[in-house]
Amino acid sequence: MNPKNVLPPITAYYVMKVGTLPLIPFFPPGSVDLAKAVKEMASDHHAVLLANHGPVVAGKTLADAVYATEELEETARLYLMLRGLDTTFLSPEQVAELKARFPG
């Protein structure tokens, strides 16, 4: 697993709505270290995955956050369903093109 992006780019919509999903190491709930780690990552990401807690997703509006959450959940579901199968993820070039065409 790549801690800088724990969920591969399976769909264009995931790339457009979420981008990358970094993993934040485990800290106990309410920990100052957890808050610092989230704050550090949140400025550059629409979502982060808190180890042994779950995802935190943000957006410009509540609706944007909901849409991003839906894409994250659907992509995670697809990823689990496709495990063990010969799956082609989006290439780095395709991801870059999507990010250029649809800046977040």
Counting every residue written for the chain, the total comes to: 104
Are 49 and 55 within 8 A, CB to CB? yes
Helix (H) or strand (E) holding 91: none
Q: How far is residue 79's CA from residue 9's CA, in Å, rounded to a whole number?
A: 10
Catalytic residue among 13, 14, 67, 79: 13
Give per-residue burial for 24-57: e unless 16+ CB within 10 Å, then b. beebeeeeeebeebeeebeeebbbbbbeeeebbb
Catalytic residue status for 79: no
Q: What is the DSSP secondary structure assignment for residue 24, as one 8-state letter?
A: E
Question: Mind telling me the catalytic residues?
Answer: 13
